[in-house]
Structure 1
Amino acid sequence: MMNKKSYLLAIAAALLVTGGTVTPSHAAYDENLHTYTLDTVVVNADRTKNQFGDTITEQSYYRTGGDVKVITREEIDKRHYTDITEAIKRIPGVTFQNPGYRGGEYGYQFYNNGVSINGDTRVIILVDGRRVDNAASGRIDDYGGANGSKSTGVNLDQVTNMENIDKIEVIKGPGASAYGADATGGVINIITRKGGQKDQGSIDLATGSWKKHHYAINYSGSAGNDKSWHYFISANRDMSGNTKYKDSFTDSDGTLEGSKWKEDGVNLRVDKDFNDRQNLKIWYNHREGKDGYPIAVPNQKYMNEKDWTDIISRATIGGIYNPSDPSKTPLSISSLDSNTVYQLGSRLAGDTKNPGYHNLYSLDGNYGSYSRFRNNDYDIVYTFNKENGMESFVRYYYQSHWLTDRDKYQWYRNGGTKQAISDFKSAFPNGATGDQIRQWIKDNLAPFTGDKSALKQWIQDTGGYAGDPTHYYQEKNHGIQLQYAKSIGINDVIADFNYDTARAYTHSLSRSTGEWKSSYVKRKTYEGYVQDKIHLTDKWDLTPSLRYVKYSSFEDSNTGKVQGSGDSHAFTYALNTEYMFNDTVGAYLGVTKVYRPIKQGDYSTTDTAFNQPLKDEKGVAWTFGIHKDFSPRTTLAVHYDYTHMSNSIANLPVLDPDTGDFENAPVNAKENKQSFNVTLDHQFNDHVTLSASYSHMKDKWKSKDYWTLGPEYGYDKGDINTAINSLRPENHYALNLSYQNGGLYTGLLANWYTGCSDYAFTSHRFLVLDWNINYDITKDLNVYAVVGNLTNEAYETSYNSWNGKGSSAMPGRYFMIGTKYKF
């Protein structure tokens, strides 16, 4: 039997032996840059890069240095990515925190899809250069600050559909400070598709594992006598049945019940080109979906009727113990003696106290619990001048994002755990024998979810499957942006002003009156920005910039203001430079002042441990990189960044000196974050290209005031740094290998994670392989296949201490086969 490394070597060898002749061409930092579309112009290979080796895009004039990767439409079509996460996971330093299922849970960081760049989750998501987060959002609640996480507040895969995407820019670190003083991790900029001169369309159909189906159609072109009107329209539907996964504890395959999902999208973009310098863009984006809500992946070790009975009884009424045992150790229900009278102990919740506890969440999935989202976005941009590649424009945008979830389950037939304990004690005031306890549990607690007939009857007896939601959230924001760009000698100057009004609504159904009640939190943002890209020489750019931002206080529709909040504002700066030492060696260096305000829903505004108001996050981020072309086909690049936060926020179990209790509380802290990437790009010949990379990141936290951390969180002698760094792999190696010959294209992506801590992961290392093949039967018709997790690896990308290791196991091996027809 071949091991996983042998798989990788065999496939690599198979690709390499099919190579062709050598023709001089520059090694590509980004894949598939032979030709690609820039606005309505097709760019040839010799014009895809600027003088610093950076890939040119419609918005690349914002960049001021940094490590940049661009995923083009050509790559998306050849690799058949179905979502953004799938597309950008090949980028070195980019990692995802996924719960193991599709949709995530609104408002809880550990149950949502998140992204980090070089270990920093302060990542800004953009569409055509515009931020898509909501300043008043409650998307991430108090749990959001746990363990130093600074989530984007945006589910990347819910932003827009892949048919609508022309390019994806990934910028590591604050190398484009125009996007905000809080983009310390980096920026993900999604550039949308614009219709060209020729009328054309495509239909994409695919099917595969777990009843996965993909349907997509788009049509684009131009209109008018002078062909100055351009349009692009697309629609898609993606769906799947219940996900399967590889269980680390039993080395067996499991099914994540209730994880099926269906998501739809429609996009429309209309452009009017008045001349070479003036343009009007009207863009509409609709995306909605209903995703299953299983919360956590069951541990198959405990997925049997015997263990289920122990777990649910201990979680609902408490552990059963023998009164003659002074330790009060909970006993297994199946082992209870028929003649002995047993007593009821305390409830045991969480995997630490009750191993296999998170298996109970399989009830949620079987009840049909779900999360839903619906996005409607509008963007109108009038560009009134273009100069030296820069745009001057005025923009109006409007976003309405609707989210809800319905989590239904019932462990006890007649109500919740309090009622169950009360009823048990009433039935057995002096204790119960083993036979009595077993019968009571059988009659009153939810049956093992593997018994489908008993489970179906239980669901019917307890009110049926999950119905309409009793609450939902809505995030609305709109704003206006004015940008003016001008070339003055060697200076390219950009001045920008943005005004944004954001509201976060909560709508709840009153149980007593049956009426819907609504409230909202409102916040206004004012931003002003100016940068000057100074072309000191043909090979040296220096870019200073200044930004002023003011956030209004959170205005609550019920109380007027959120307690403890107030206006906040800051001046920040950035200084970046790029320099080419010669035709083969270039470097960049930058420093940025970081400012991130306390956000509604992200953090509490009062430090409950020390009764001191939290302060906005502030710090300084440095980024440095150098690349060397060893030959026209080989490039080595190194990226390093260092962030020092004088005021960072972490949500931790802290000893309150007044009460003597550990309380989960947000605290200001000092944080030093470092990351390192090295990437080798090599083109073996006209057919085979390789990108190999290594990434490493490390945090060091230090409290500004002394604290003691709760021992139940497993920190080594109270050292937060041990826990923070163990929540992700220590090392990440990536290999991206592709082969193209005529109409055949195939690619292999390998992600190898090592140095995984026993604290958070079920294995010290794991290797995940993804493979695809694409073949053009004719110029208008191709067929393809995609295989994810080729070796059916058991792995996780996130950890939850409450649910235990392995509770966020990622999907196992799956395949998709499809065809795409252009007309």
Structure 2
Amino acid sequence: MKKKQLSALIALAFVSIGGGHNAAYAAHDENLNSYTLDDVVVSAERTKDQFGDTITEQSYYRTGGDVKVITREEIEKRHYVDLTEAIKRIPGITFQNPGYRGGEYGYQFYNNGVSINGDTRVIILIDGRRVDNLTSTRVGGNSKTGTKSTGVNLDQLIGMESVDKIEVIKGPGASVYGPDATGGVINIITRKGGEQQKGTLDLSTGAWHKHNYALTLSGSALPDHSLRYFFTTTRSMSGDTKFVDGVVGGTGTLGGSEYKEDALNIRLDKKLSDKQNLKLWYNFKQGKDGYPISVPSLKYWNEADWDRIIFKAAVGDLNSNNVLQDMTNSQGKWVPKRGDTDVPGYRNLFALDGQVYRSFSKFKDNDWELMWTFNKENGMESFLRLYSQNHRYSNRDYFRWRRDGKSAKDLADEYRAAFPSGATNEQLTQWIHEHLAPFPGGDQARVKEWLEATGGTAKEPTSWQEERNRGIQVQYAKSLGKNDIIASITYDRAKNYSKKLEDDGSVVSSHVGRNSILGYVQDKIHVSDKFDITPALRYSYYSSYESNTAGDKVQGKGSSRTVTPALNLQYTFDYSTDLYFGWTRIYRPLRQGDYTSTDGVFNTPLDDERGDAWTLGIRKEFSEHTSAAVHYDWTRMNNAIATLPIWNGTKFTSTAVNAKEDKKSFNITVDHKLNKYVTMSASYSHMLDKWMAKNGWILDPSWGYQNSTDINTQINRLRPQNHYALNISYEKGRLYTGLLANWYTGASTNAFTSSRFLILDWNLNYELQKDMTVYLVVNNLTNKAYETSYSSYLGLGGAAMPGRSWMIGARYNF
């Protein structure tokens, strides 16, 4: 049925529109008609080098590799509103998303995460500069469970109107960015002003009270046009979103998922000479996002099930006669059961947090960069860069299950005193309505009364995290005959502040800090016009984690240094067939919490993650209309961190260890220009991960679906193994339309509501006049139920993604 669905929609995209002209020839990247590179507008026939790689401001770092570039033209034609929307079309890219914007600091599952070919060790850059913070605990304070990512939420970084290009590099093709980029690199290249004065105004509105506003101004100053400026300000907002329940079907509302986000970006570029220029860049972004935690389960979204769920979670278990059972644990505490396994439908209680109390999360970014380029040679830059990042995160998760601040034990005692021999169903219902929170989807007068009696909606946070980076980078590049040599060194001071507002108005603050020095040298050797070899060495130094909190266990821990090599090569056979190979030694330092991880069988501290990554690929242009690319990626870790079930002599015990990991992925992409109006790109991605115990350990032979928070060890279950994508566009005269189909298969039904799902996104542009374009964007065209992440605590479908939504808008150039 899904194949018929896809075929019908592709046919619709063709027959509903007329014919035209598209100047772009078949390429690995869409919409390469023209784009700006430095001060030069690059035409379609000059977008590639002799190896078939798209040229960008950062491409001199690369030698081969599977690289995709999303241009400004594509961003505007497809109307991507955030980075996730843009990047998800690329083969091998997957996102772990809770189904709403925002997220809670410190918890991996409640944040947006990205992986490349099944690896969350992905580096995020802006204009070639890393934007992660070594002391960040946004997705957790250790590596033993959860993501191995650098803790950056793409959608909170920068507004889309500020983005000129997005460069996605899979594997170790650009080793300059660090020995921990085993999955790859996402490099966001910012917009700069041109010689002509230009402006744009983009306004759109749509489903769920969504509204987007964007204004850009760019141009040049001074008589010689040597000072360029770019300015943009945007606002994006939405009410509560809809979702489709993958268990029972039907569409529900995700209460508390509203958001409002603002962005401001300023970039000034002063040309000092042909080889020198000065860049000043400032970025501000802030948002207040709802915090619904989870979508409700429609199967249990009714008054009777609500009463059952909240009594069991807030008071305790009842037997068949409604007699309260003993919930005392081994420590003598009264502990009711929690989570979907013990309390089916448990996640419905989170509707109190989001829908009733309107819990929320907030973030605010203030970043700047000053960069002096003092020489340019053969496409390379020598520069001095100073930068500062200030990121603030806070949230207010407020709710009340019980009246008057009573504990579960208090209510248990009251219930037992009132009904020592059990209660009738009518008596139980009456007792619940008098003592526990009402069903959010029921009598709204009761809900309002409960809300007012328990303190009203969530107030401003009284505690927050602040991540700060200050750094300097120096790079020197020189061409010597056939050798293009680049050397750089970066010094970064990272701090993470925990702050709390006291009752007297004072702020109590503590922080953890870590400094790093990253050195790099590469020699791109042009052996011939057809053959490049690039050996490289990286030096990484990480200081001890230092805390200003007395008695902190990590005080003075964590100092490490290492040198890691890398080798990349690229060869073109006949200027239509290109082969590349890359190898890099992996080194990923421990995070703060890992230095005290001595739990489980071995009771010893963890070691830094180490291993090797290889990538191999071939690209072939069969004609000016058809090309294909095959990419194979293999990561072999001998010291990866994971929590695994290991035999302790008596039983299998979950233990945080340095284990062996063998991860493989495969991508194939075919680009074809059907005629002068229609272009398409079809791709397939497959990934497989295997974890093994080291010599002398015994790993549970029946180990299957467990430890669900460890995304990396569960790649074969927490991500669909196969990803098929079809990206098709049609352009004629004033009309442009595009359809993106993502089909995922091989998903475990232990974690997903379906083993496969097809997601369609469609857009239509029409140029009313020279400077005015109107457009329509529809996401999740068929209103499909799907998820990209799973937590056993929330149950199947707990992270359902948004259902069908639409936006209609206009873009005016002036």
User: Where do residues 775-790 of structure 1 align in structure 2 (5 Å cutoff)?
Assistant: 775-790=766-781
* Maintained 8 Å contact 2:247/2:796: no
Query: Against the structure 1 CA distance between its residues 519 and 256, is the aligned structure 2 distance closer, same or farther, given a 3 Å change threshold?
Result: same
1:820 Cα deviation from its structure 2 partner: 0.5
- SS of the equivalent of 1:454 reads helix
Partner of residue 357, structure 1: 346
| Deviation digits for residues 105-124 of structure 1 (CA, Å, limit 9, x no counterpart) | 21111111000011100000
Tell me what 1:476 maps to. Answer: 468
SS at structure 2 position matched to 1:153: coil
* Counterparts in 2 of 1:375 and 1:609: CA distance versus 1, 3 Å: farther
Q: Residue 729 of structure 2 corresponds to which residue in structure 1?
A: 738
Question: Is 2:144–2:657's contact at 8 Å kept on the other side of the alignment?
Answer: no
Could you tell me which residue of structure 1 aligns to residue 221 of structure 2?
Answer: 223
2:636 maps to which of 638, 644, 656: 644
**Equivalent residue for 1:282, pick from 280, 283, 291:** 280
CA shift for structure 1 position 703:
2.1
Contact 1:142-1:603 at 8 Å conserved across structures:
no
Shift of 1:146: 2.3
CA shift digits 1:294-353 (9 cap, x unpaired): 00111100000000111111111111014xxxxxxxxxxxxx57xxx5645562211011
Distance 2:59 2:159 in 1: 22
Moved more, 648-657 or 742-751: 648-657
1:629 maps onto 2:621 in alignment: yes
Does 2:176 align with 1:178? Answer: yes
Deviations 1:117-161 (A, max 9, x none): 1110000000000000001112121576426x3123000001100
Corresponding residue of 1:467:
459
Are 1:519 and 2:510 matched, yes or no? yes
Q: Secondary structure at the match of 1:590?
A: strand
Secondary structure class of the residue paired with 2:478 = strand
CA distance in 2, matches of 1:740, 1:721: 41
Alignment of 1:660-809 (within 5 A): 665-704=655-694, 706=697, 714-715=705-706, 723-809=714-800
1:430 matched to 2:420? The reply is: yes
Matches within 5 A, 1:77-226: 77-142=76-141, 145-146=144-145, 149-226=147-224
SS in 1 for 2:299: helix
Which residue of 539, 542, 552 corresponds with 1:548?
A: 539
Is the contact between residue 137 and residue 601 of structure 1 (CA under 8 Å) also seen in structure 2? no
In 2 relative to 1, CA 781–410 (structure 1 residues): closer, same or farther, beyond 3 Å? same
* C-alpha contact 2:681 2:726 (8 A) present in aligned 1: yes
Distance 1:520 1:342, change over 3 A: closer
| Aligned-residue identity in percent | 58
Kindly provide the CA deviation profile for residues 518-564 of structure 1, in whole angstroms up to 9, marking residues without a partner as x: 10000000111000000000010000000011000100011376438
Partner-residue secondary structure (3-state), 1:612: coil
Rate the CA distance shift 1:778–1:437 in 2: closer, same or farther, 3 A: same
Q: Secondary structure at the match of 1:414?
A: helix
Q: Deviations over 1:612-642 (max 9, x none)?
A: 0100000000000001111111011000010
The change in CA–CA distance for 1:123 and 1:604 in structure 2 (over 3 A counts) is farther
CA distance in 1 between partners of 2:465 and 2:789 (Å) = 25
What is the rounded CA distance, in whole Å, between the counterparts of 1:784 and 1:428 in structure 2? 64
- Which residue matches 1:585? 577
Can you list the C-alpha shifts for 1:789-821, whole angstroms capped at 9, x where unaligned? 000000000011111110000000000000010
Counterpart pick for 1:368 among 358, 361, 373: 358
Report the counterpart of residue 40 of structure 1 in structure 2.
39
The answer (yes or no) to whether the contact 1:503–1:523 under 8 Å persists in 2 is yes
Q: C-alpha separation between the residues in 1 aligned to 2:353 and 2:374? A: 54
**8 Å contact from structure 2 (residues 22, 732) kept in 1:** no
Task: Report the secondary structure of 1:77's partner residue.
Answer: helix
SS in 2 for 1:644: strand
Match of 2:398 in 1: 408
RMSD after superposition: 2.4
What secondary structure sits across from 2:337 in the alignment? coil
The Cα offsets for residues 476-511 of structure 1, whole Å up to 9 and x where unpaired, read as 011000000000000000000000000000012457
The answer for the alignment partner of 1:378 in structure 2 is 368
> Structure 1's 28 and 792: CA in aligned 2 closer, same or farther, altered over 3 A?
same
Q: CA deviation at 1:453?
A: 2.0
Which among 306, 316, 336 is matched to residue 308 of structure 1? Answer: 306
Alpha-carbon shift at residue 671 of structure 1 (Å): 0.6
Name the structure 2 match of 1:326.
Answer: none
In structure 1, what is the Cα distance between the partners aligned to 2:140 and 2:269?
39
**How many corresponding residue pairs?**
799
Q: Secondary structure at the match of 1:439?
A: helix
**Aligned amino acid, residue 553 of structure 1:** S
1:182-241 per-residue CA deviation (whole Å, 9 max, x = no partner) reads: 111010000000000000100000000000000000000000111100000000000000
Aligned equivalents of 2:199 and 2:144: distance in 1?
Answer: 45
Aligned-partner Cα distance in 1 for 2:806–2:314? 40
Contact 1:243-1:255 at 8 Å conserved across structures = yes
Kindly state the Cα deviation for residue 104 of structure 1 after the two structures are TM-superposed.
1.7
Counterparts of 1:320-399 in structure 2 under 5 Å? 320-322=318-320, 343=325, 347-365=336-354, 366-399=356-389
Distance 1:208 1:423 in 2: 51
Amino acid at match of 1:677: N
Q: Deviations over 1:147-184 (max 9, x none)?
A: 6x312300000110001000000001111000100111
Cα deviation for residue 47 of structure 1 reads 0.6
Letter in 1 for 2:744: Y
Q: Distance in 1 between matches of 2:292 and 2:253?
A: 11
Task: Identify unmatched segments of 5+ residues in structure 2.
Answer: 328-334
Deviations along 1:431-466, one digit per CA (max 9) or x if unpaired, are 432244333211111111102221121111111110
Structure 1, gaps ≥5 residues long: 323-335
Partner Cα distance (1:656, 1:289) in 2: 48
Whether 1:573 and 2:573 are equivalent positions in the alignment is: no
AA at the equivalent of 2:527: L
Equivalents in 2 of 1:438, 1:709: separation in Å? 46
CA contact (8 A) 1:607 1:614 kept: no
Q: Write the distance in 2 (CA, Å) between the matches of 1:710 and 1:577.
A: 40
- AA matched with 1:728: R
Whichever residue aligns with residue 61 of structure 1, its letter is Y
Q: Tell me the residue number matched to 2:332.
A: none
**Paired position in structure 2 for 1:265:** 263
Deviations 1:392-430 (A, max 9, x none): 000000000000000001111133654445543563483
